[in-house]
Amino acid sequence: MTLYIRPEEGETSEMFLDAGENLGVGGSSLYCSCGIDHICTGYYLSEDEGEDFPEESEHVKLHTQDCVTGFEIDGKLFVTDCEGCKKKLRRYEDWIWNHRNLIRDYLKIRIDQEKVWADYEHTKNLLAGIG
């Protein structure tokens, strides 16, 4: 098990970022919710191939790795190593944690209901000679 440290006030935790990997997207270029175009300069873009590299600015961030990664929440793309995205993600992390009892209760009810529906479908299939 990974041992996490408590994040500073207002920072997204590594726990939340690690959990977001399951929702992950990646590519040679990702445009994040902060309005920054994150571009890889590693494997996908190479000076040897004669590519013109954009200048890094407040709207373009160059990455030396082969791929930029992130994940989507609420229709917004958050790049994992973008400081602005990390600050914005804290809002979602705090909401989830502050509403954990509601979320837990909802998931229990939903899982129980999904089991009832699955049992019903299984019975229909048995009666139809499918199962």
- Same domain assignment for residues 36 and 62: yes
DSSP state of 66: S
Token digits of residue 15: 């726990």
Q: Record the pTM.
A: 0.70
- Same domain assignment for residues 72 and 121: no
- Same domain assignment for residues 83 and 30: yes
- Euclidean distance between CA atoms 56 and 52, whole angstroms: 12
- For residue 126, the enclosing domain spans 99-131
- Same domain assignment for residues 40 and 90: yes
3-state secondary structure of 49: helix
Instruction: Render each residue's pLDDT in the chain as its tens digit; 131 residues.
Output: 678 888 878 888 989 988 887 777 888 889 999 999 988 876 444 455 555 666 778 888 887 777 888 889 999 999 988 889 989 999 999 999 999 999 999 999 999 999 999 999 999 999 999 96
- Euclidean distance between CA atoms 104 and 35, whole angstroms: 34
Q: How many domains does the structure of the chain reveal?
A: 2
- Same domain assignment for residues 90 and 112: no
**pLDDT (0 to 100) of residue 43:** 47
Residue type, 25: V
